[in-house]
Amino acid sequence: MLVEFRLPDIGEGVAEGEVVRWFVKEGDSIREDQPLVSVLTDKANVEIPSPKSGRIAKIHAAVGEKVKVGGLLVSFEVEGGTAPTAPVAVAPTAPSPATSTAPGAPAAPARGPPAAAGGTAPLASPYLRRLAAERGIDLSTVRGSGPGGRITEADLGGSPTPASAPAPIPGPVSTVVAAPAAPASAPPASPSVPDAEVAERVPIRGLRRVIAEHMAEATHRAAHFTYVEEVDASELVRFRDRMAKHVEKQGLRLSYLPFIVKGVVAGLKAHPRLNSLVDDARSELVVRSSYHIGIATSVPDGLVVPVVHDADKKSLAAIAREIADLAERGRAGKLSRAELTGSSFTITSLGALGGVLATPILNYPEVGILGVHRIVRRPVYRGDGTLGPADLMNLSISLDHRVIDGHEGAQFLATVKGYLEDPHQLFAELA
């Protein structure tokens, strides 16, 4: 019989996804749970498995095409049986604000009748099956809260937000994810280029299209201004070199970025308004009580911003290890939606290629983003009038001038500068 398979619910609040890769072609045979298609949503690549074994009869959505949830993806032929009555579960997504789990305080999974009766396998993605196995949870005893009884990550250890609690403002997925800016009254005209002069036409789709949409949204919404400060990083260089010898024994490379994360957290604690999101719908500045730091990371198709959650509660080595892990899996396209959401402030750095100065675009709706530039040794005059070498670094911060004034931004960056010029302060709280 012919079975139509439609785009399932791929995460709370997600209305559509863009097809980025088919793992099969028309005429191919496929097994149940074998990878079928990869869909991009909120810049997390979601791998959707096949709900049945059979033969691919027709693919209805081309690569680059956006498909609404419930839209037809593929038809395939199966032997006997009936079409699935519920959407298939898919790769990991973050829980919605209404079902998010507080860090360090998971609730017990919801227990009840088996998620699917009559010997049918529970509706759960391969990721959730693996997660359940790691936690020793029998999925047949978990009552799925998703559509059609689909098991979500929250069902394995989430605690719903009390109904009386105000709905949290969701953090941005990354520097490049948000709703597109309102379209103009008429579509823009195509540039006039003679065919003989066109070397190539490259479709703007997938991650690159999401980047374009969010950059336009950020610059349309926020009133950007950039402030720059020079930092004498000489002591930071020495301190990092000493610590690296110990950290590298754990098989971990220690860069300057974890120190900068710690310095930024210290600055945000001193100037909490910069640890905020703008709620344009309510005309409110939502000041965060947690410190979730986004780290802009270059990937083959553009840029992603994985998040170091609760950075204030983690050691320098733990932050270094997490940044390395997130960057590696980000480049491989293996980050979950939860790892790409919730940031309250973003850091962007090109490391050794960091240049002299940049004007970063805000990770809207955040109000601040810090640009980190390369460290260069140059001669400087000391306070005592002597001339000597120093390791100098520029920091550039872009802020939303609608809610953050220049003086406040300068104070924040001065605080960060102070911690980086004397990095021992970062560990004073442990004394």
The residue to which tokens 């919730």 are assigned:
342
Distance CA 368, CA 16 (A): 29
Quick check: 264 and 257 in contact, CB under 8 A?
no
Distance CA 91, CA 20 (A): 15
Q: How many CB atoms lie within 10 A of CB 394?
A: 19
Of 393, 397, 391, nearest to 413 (Cα)? 397
Distance CA 177, CA 243 (A): 36
Say which residues have a Cβ less than 8 Å from residue 175's Cβ, sequence separation at least 6. 214, 294, 296, 303, 305, 346, 348, 361, 363, 369
Three-state DSSP string of 153-179: HHHHCCCCCCCCCCCCCCCCCCCCCCC
- Residue 238, phi-psi category: left (phi > 0), alpha (psi -120 to 50), beta (remainder): alpha
* Burial (0-12, 13-18, 19+ Cβ within 10 Å), 342: buried
Residues catalogued as catalytic: 401, 405
Give 46's strand partners.
Answer: 39
List Cα–Cα distances, 43 to 63, 163, 169, 299, 332, in angstroms.
15, 29, 19, 12, 13
DSSP per-residue codes, 189-214? PPP---GGG--------THHHHHHHH
> How distant is the alpha carbon of residue 240 from its chain centre?
27
Identity of the amino acid at 79: E
